[in-house]
Structure 1
Amino acid sequence: MNYEEYKKAVEELNRYAYHYYVEDNPITTDEVYDKLYHEVLAYEEKNPYQVLDNSPTQRVGDVVSEGFHKALHKSRMWSLEDVFDEEDLKKWLARIFKLDDRASFYCEPKYDGASLNLYYEGGRLIQAITRGDGVTGEDITQNARTIKTIPLKIDYEEPIEIRGEVVIFKSEFQAINEERAKNGENIFANPRNAAAGSLRQLDSSITANRNLVFLPYGIGQNTLDIPLLSKRMEFIYSLGFKTPPYRAVCKWLLDIEKVYAKMKDERDDYDMMLDGMVVKVDQIESQESMGYTVKYPRWAVAYKFPAVEKITTVKDIILQVGRSGVVTPVAVVAPTNIDGVVVERATLHNFDEIQRKDIRINDKVIILRSGDVIPKIIKVLEHERTGSEIEVLRPKECPVCGSELLDEGALIKCQNLTCKARVVNSIIYFASKQCLNIDGLGEKIVKALFDSGLVKSVEDIFSLTLEKLLALEGFKEKKSQNLLDAVENVKGCDCWRFINALGMEHIGEVASKSLCSEFGLGFMKAEKNDLLTIEGIGEEMAESVLEFVRVNEEHILRLTEILNPKIPEPKIEAKDNPFKAKTIVLTGSLSHPRGEIKEMLESLGAKVSGSVSKKTDMVIYGDDAGSKYDKALELGVRTVTEDEMKEMLDD
């Protein structure tokens, strides 16, 4: 075999594999494939410097990693807003049609697996990154290369991110669990857990043996000049990726409901697990115009399938005290298997709900679990009562510290700031990965430090010394020094991590980043109206920030001095120009990508909005301008062509 014959053999093997793994339509026998494979392998062993990147021999996992490294996505991987019924969907569609009354929708399955982002450049698979927090994930490229439904080479040279879900087919999942049981290993609870666990194996040969399947559902960074998402996905499938079992483009609610009903009714017949249907605006221009909230794209939702319900028995109701002092009742139920997950607890939210539903210990109840949502009790089977049921009384004393509780009706709070549960939970949250990420400061260590009296508040962790730690049982020198180093290393942390670690009610990672970006540490002096100008922050969140700062200002200042958080670079104020401080809407076909124009205008101090209102100062339009242009004329808003915009920029 010479080099040209070798290249043709690799191409032929990839064609065989595509028909077998992607098309589910074999075009040769295993014998023919294996014979050609070994001929290719023999050539590569003799000519190791001529091995092609897309050779099927490069899929064999033979690397054992020490760990996975963090890697940044080229563009953010967003979560999706969930809708659960037709009414929710109607509300979402109403919002969409307000922004674009000509929108149509691309519907596809919502796979229940592990999200993965593939980055190609020059037609080659360069990197594969897990979803992570949407901005940063783990580089698992070596493992991804073993997945036969991921092309190592595609017929497209430009840089592109292809997003999808890694799943394990139901038949494969059953075979894996049977093998694990035979070997005395723990079995996987469901195919999603199996897929996620298989994807993150340090030994890539294990990943290679699991028969994982990659199913594309979207595109990240790209330079595609294709105006519709449905057509873009067709292009992606044409590059050698597996197509979904069903997909459709719809215009109206009735069309979407028909597709949803078909997927819901047939989901048990699909090879992979589905937990709903994704609905996305099909027009890319409209997607860019609609933009994002702090958490989700406005132009897409996950229409979830009905949750699974089971009957179980309430064995007990226990009380949990959170870091804000709120006492939350939790139902302990008889272990119940729901869709592969054994459920032993159900949320009750508050005591008003217990009274409204008349939930009693020993009651038979129906619990509901939807996706990853914690199960909840939806109905008490009163006709099943035997007289052994015990009523649940509203607590008057904190179950942790014994102090009197403040009963505000819906909420019952422990007011004792030194309550162990409040302090411990605050420190655990403060040190968690999404906050300061203090390695080694988990629940067990925090409780030990609190019980010893060394730590009575978050600030106390910064006064720990090696001498103090070594005096505690179970603290060896290396472990203690590692903890002290981890605590020291968080000094100079990012501003948003500091804000998130404070544990303000309703303020999570996304809102913390927004506060940091807008105000830095000046969020403490922000007034309510200032907070409400930030996209995604509403009344309740703004009030939470104001109340927390009022009560804890000294505490925040002390922590600021200790940590000296890293403030982001201040925004450079734009010079005076015709667009500064103006609210602008873009519409129609423009000569440059809308994202580029939006970024340019924002750098000039403009606010680019997705919809026209009386507050709009200017509408910049291109060819085929539609309803936004008409509305601008109706409201008397200034309209500017793209050429006029360029003249204004030149001036």
Structure 2
Amino acid sequence: MDIQQYQEQLAILKKMAYHYYVLNEPMATDEEYDMLYHQILAFEQRNPNLIDPSSPTQRVGDTPLESFSKKQHLERMWSLDDVFSTKEAEEWIKRIYKNYPQASFTCSPKFDGASLNLLYQGGMLVAATTRGDGIIGELVTQNAKTIQSIPLQIPYKNEIEIRGEVVITKEDFELINQERLSRNESLFANPRNAAAGSLRQLDSKITAKRKLRFMPWGIGAGISQISNHNQGFYEAMEQIYEFGFIRIPFLSHCKNIDEIEQIYHHLLKMRNEYPIMLDGMVIMLDDFRMQQHLGWTIKSPRFACAYKFPAIEKSSKILSVTLQVGRSGIITPVAELEPVEIEGAMIARATLHNFSEIERKDIRIGDRVIIIRSGDVIPKIIKPLIALRDGSEIPIQKPDVCPVCGGELLVEEIFIKCQNLRCKARVLESIIHFASKKALNIDGLGEKNVIQLFENHLIHNILDLYSLTYEDLIALEGWKEKRAKNLLNAIENTKGIELWRLVNALGIEHIGEGMSKKLTSVYGLDIFHLTHDEILALNGFGEEIANSLVEFNRTNKSLIEKMLEILNPKVEVVEIDANSPFYQKTIVLTGTLSQPRDEIAKILEKKGAKMTSSVSKNTDFVIYGENAGSKLDKAKALGICLLDEEQMRAML
């Protein structure tokens, strides 16, 4: 390779990196990228005086730093004033309207990460500085260069500061904490904490492993030159994206309060599904001349504010620990907390998962702990605040017997299980699961009603549901004619349901909705007579599933026969099309399609597809319709094959 070939191949490598890390549209395989990378690296090692400073090989420094130097920003990085409600946001906007009645605004997501200021001179990245106190920050240029979404070179020769947020996805945050647990290292409390900690590593090789992303949100020095005061902030950001930065999602130009509120509530709705933590929305007066006229207070601009989301991370104190017994007998420790409000809900309990988790995190009764809540999922404890301990904290002990029935316990790897099949807790949980939406979907038979029926000795197992009478129900406290008839009708409507629903409802260990569908579509009613080897012959079925199903069929033969007699389930044995392009492919549906997703899922399952609800690196296709949200964004980030409905049907 000569110098001309080096420059040509380097241009191709940089284009590959841009497509992969910024556009989320890979133009080459990992192998092709790696081969070209090492060819260029070999040339540079032979010719160190010819190395292009913007080469991707220059992203990781050779030696760790001893400490970070300080650097002053050319333009101050201001804090934003916060507003926390619709009323406060409207009051802030109306203050702008007093000066500029025709003002418009740029709204953008407020990412929860670590702020970073990038300085470019002559088109080259010359410095990267943390926010610090807004005037002076720490110089982390060596680490910033490891972040693939930060261009080392931009097609703009004037001096300019690009501001943005260094973030990490929720999925990568979980992986980092799992690795730290395995090494007995302290855990990061949240993705923001992980991003900031990763950015400030003295060894840039560690930073390079953390999969950080840079999301641009503003401009410091050089804004007057790039805008010439003839365009707004929204247009200026469009120009920044042309420099090679990631295009941030949901950036919107809003003309009035109603449009701002609409974007805010859309972001709030997307918050839990979006792969990166969002903690609000930034509202920015769009016109640069108006911004200069309004100016700044001592600490913040008058022309921008942060419209914050309700907090989902809080701290609380563990008062005690309750042991819950599930339908499979697994005992789950649950922390009873000092009540704390998160997203408008009072949280007084949080799962501790299992006793191995408690030991690894060293969680004790009396600890103050960090809690997070995502959507409707039960809150979970991330870590204890060990520095706040005063010596009164009590270690959490493993149980010796079942806390409900006093029965024998089995320790199975990280799980502790009650062995008593007649344990009240196991029976209740099995009935609740039997009636749940993805099982028999018995409307009106939630947890409270199941407990009431059980406590009044009307049901002792799932079979008893089909012996309930109108007279039984109407005699219960709080039950009237309509409620009783509705429940009896809902139970009656389970007769003739799909076989897979019954299999899922039976609560066979290791066999959920997907496995139930696959087994019944291939074997029909023969599922209850399968041998160990016949189960293993199915793709995706291992020893644990085979052992579990064979044992369940053996010990519950009488129950299965009675349920089949009562329900007479509908059997749909599907002939799988092994020649389909979707055969044995993992597929996620998202957005609004021309048919309900369940119907499209059935079509794809007949082609041998494996349907799942979440996007991961193992997903083969994401099929999307209108208003597709975070699942589509995540699929793009992972480079997964995307199909619209028309393309899907063409392949079918």
State the TM-score, normalizing by the size of structure 1: 0.49
State the TM-score, normalizing by the size of structure 2: 0.49
